[in-house]
Amino acid sequence: MMPVPSSVPQPKDDFQEELVIRPLHSGDIYASFQFRTLWETDFMRGNKVSHYRLFPKSLGQVISKFSVRELHISFTQGYWRTMQWGQPFLPSPPGAELWVWFQDSVTDVDGTWKELTNVLSGIFCASLNFIDSTNTVQPSASFKPLGIGNVTDHRFLRYATLPREIVCTENLTPWKKLLPCGSKAGLAVLLKSEKLFHSSFHSQAVHIRPVCQDWQCKTTSWELRQTLNVVFDLHTPGQGKLEWSLFKMFSRTLTEACPLASSSKIYIDITDDPQGEQFEVSPATHLLSQAMVLGDRRTFSVYDLTQQITFGTVRSLNLLIRWKSRDMLRPLLHAERYVAGYGLQTGEIHTLMYNNHPYRSFPVLLLDSVPWYLRLYIHTLTVTSKGKDNKPSYIHYQPSKDRVRPHLLEMLVQLPPNSVTEVTVQFERALLKWTEYTPDPNHGFYVGSSVISSLVPSIVAMDTNSTREQPLFSSFFPCKEESSYFMRVYTEPLLVNLPTPDFSMPYNVICLTCTVVAVGYGSLYNLLTRSFQIEEPSPGLAKRIANIIRKMRGVPPL
């Protein structure tokens, strides 16, 4: 074994964990976990990384082997109800979503993408190997890199969703194993599957990107964020009171922070009630913090788990939150999508985008990826706001190719203030080959969510200094200007029925036809060729052998 030279400095790595709890207007409660590992190393420039400490080795090897610049993967169960719950800190569509920016040194992006999806399906125990060219698109304007970098040539971007993908404990288990402390210490102790999946919304994600190390941004470090968003339903535990505790949500309490974490905090959103009349949190804390998140300045109570005093004399922390009523943060941007029409031949996709700002209009970028078996008629595409035609300023359309590529439609639409914009397009359903149907085709076929990205004007001035110490939940999307913030909204996925054959018919037809042929042809053949003859009944076997022996003896037969 070679001794490690002490003069070579080990790249610094840092781990932070945080939990944000936000009670919602409808009485549900929203909990968002974020675990961030920052590592000042360089996967790309030749020196092979061999010692992993806080950064998980499986992901590090994936980044270096496939020359990945950015990787974002999310698994979601449920649909985020924007009108009831407001905006999430990190949006995600139902099912699985994967988008990756590759380095510009990659020559065969499609081949690398296929191998990457297979490897990730093994790491996360998900069927990501079903991602192939029929559901992968290259968006030209949406999904710009969230980390730093110069290249924005969209040839190196790949985006795919699997709306049918199920999320269960088998996806949570490897996700938890990527954390430095696993699920043994710190905030990850709360992640118990029986409570997490008994919720209205559950989303777990992994985001890897290069970020600036300091405000000068001369060097970069790699950031890995693992996020888990969950919304617990008010009516699930069986009571209607607006009272939640950590034990009620997660069936666990906290006893210590992760020893490897440099910061471990819990934030509780107490914005609507600074006096504490309607809102009560126990044990009380005087640590307060303000953050600019989602265009609004919010106030949070902070619990620092690295301080022993937070756990009190009982050595465990069980936060209790009680409130009477709550105003909702009215979302400025909201979207819906549905299929109109009747029958199994044609239909129409309607996408509605709501701009709830009273006097400001802003542009949104709509990305639609429709599978090839719904043949879109783009000449029927209409965009209307307030009854009048609203011409998009940028349209990028890539038509589909049967069994090769899906449709890709990207449009930049200006939403007038306080209005609803409707995008409609007609389609025709294709008839698939009988081997292309899934084992349960009568369930229907999924169309992935549309993605609406926009810069929404904000009420307060946003913070553009990204390297200042701020909570993790407010620093995910990079902020370039003070007057607006970036937001992504996902619509519902669609479930369409394709004309499905009756798969029991081949068997039925074979049975019926063979019966008819046998009975019909058999009867006819008998009628034509059968003739009757008189015959002696043949004696039994024993008698016949006895007759042979008697014949040999010369004795008359029986």
Query: Given the rule CB under 8 A, which residues bind another protein?
Result: 77, 114-115, 118-119, 121-123, 125-127, 129-130, 164, 166-170, 173-174, 192-194, 196-198, 438-440, 503, 541-543, 545-546, 549-550, 553, 558
- Find out whether the peptide bond into 399 is cis, omega within 30 degrees of 0: no
Amino acid of residue 150: N
Closer CB to another protein, 96 or 261, in the complex:
96
Confirm if 210 and 221 have CB atoms less than 8 A apart.
Answer: yes
Closer CB to another protein, 113 or 427, in the complex:
113
Closer CB to another protein, 250 or 485, in the complex:
250
Closer CB to another protein, 121 or 271, in the complex:
121
Closer CB to another protein, 198 or 386, in the complex:
198
Q: Between β-strands 220-232 and 201-212, what pairing exists: parallel, antiparallel or unpaired? A: antiparallel
List all residues 6 or more positions away from 410 whose beta carbon is below 8 Å from its beta carbon. 139, 140, 141, 142, 365, 366, 367, 368, 394, 395, 396, 397
Amino acid of residue 360: R
Closer CB to another protein, 314 or 545, in the complex:
545
Confirm if 242 and 323 have CB atoms less than 8 A apart.
Answer: yes
CB of 254 to another protein, least distance (A): 18
Q: Which of 106, 175, 161, 100 is nearest to 132 (CA)?
A: 161
Rounded distance between C-alpha atoms, residue 397 and residue 140, angstroms: 10
The CA dihedral of 539, 540, 543, 549, to the nearest 10 degrees, is 90
CB of 229 to another protein, least distance (A): 16
CB of 359 to another protein, least distance (A): 42
Closer CB to another protein, 199 or 450, in the complex:
199
CB of 169 to another protein, least distance (A): 5
CB of 63 to another protein, least distance (A): 16
Closer CB to another protein, 170 or 482, in the complex:
170
CB of 69 to another protein, least distance (A): 20
- What is the separation of C-alpha 270 from the centre of its chain, rounded to a whole number of angstroms? 29
Rounded distance between C-alpha atoms, residue 430 and residue 417, angstroms: 39
SS (H, E, C) 256-304: CCCCCCCEEEEEEECCCCCCCCCEEEECCCCCEEEEEECCEEEEEEEEE
CB of 193 to another protein, least distance (A): 4
Residues in the chain: 558
CB of 70 to another protein, least distance (A): 21
Confirm if 374 and 429 have CB atoms less than 8 A apart.
Answer: yes
